Amino acid sequence: MTGADDRSASAFVATSAARSGLPDFAVDERGVASGTRFVASPNFDERPAGTAVTLLVVHGISLPPGAFGGDAVLALFTKRLDSGAHPYYARIAGLRVAAHFLIRRDGEVIQFVACARRAWHAGSSAWRGRARCNDFSIGIELEGADDVPYADAQYISLARLARGLRARYPVRDIAGHADIAPGRKTDPGAAFDWTRLDALLADAP
């Protein structure tokens, strides 16, 4: 794989169980992934009728910026973030945002919105000439920062999740937040190894 536009269906050929020793996440008809912790977010609505999920969007997030652990990301996505807990939080506490999933540094996967519904993760965005990426995408946040290497466990969980999602939906592409909102967003940043993800996804058992 070379550019963002080339991360297409061929990248999802298979995820090797031998690589991780763990099965892929199974996604039910509601869009809830087995083996994840579900923390319900109010920051979603219904997808436009008849809209298929064809895109996965990889994000990076840490709150406060550069700090890992704690529950601030969960609080943001569930509208419980205390604006007084950190100076940065006053700028974002009022946002109505959530991804469908968060993958923590240890590989834990937390789900906030069922994939059949539209989570508010992408904002103003476009992919392959199509605007409003929230309509047809699933958002996956990785706990991290643009310039900090992501953890081994996160790549494994992301690959397992991507395969499970493709088994349920006609996913054709995977892109970064920066790819769908260039000039506005930079995540998951230069620290994210797309080649490594491609290798995991293409590694047939």
Q: Supply the residues annotated as catalytic.
A: 141
Give the pair of three-digit tokens for residue 116. 């059949």
Contact 41, 77 (CB under 8 A): yes
Distance CA 97, CA 92 (A): 10
Distance CA 76, CA 93 (A): 7
Give the pair of three-digit tokens for residue 28. 């039910």
Partners of residue 111 on adjacent β-strands? 38, 101
Give the pair of three-digit tokens for residue 87. 């100076």
Distance CA 118, CA 116 (A): 7
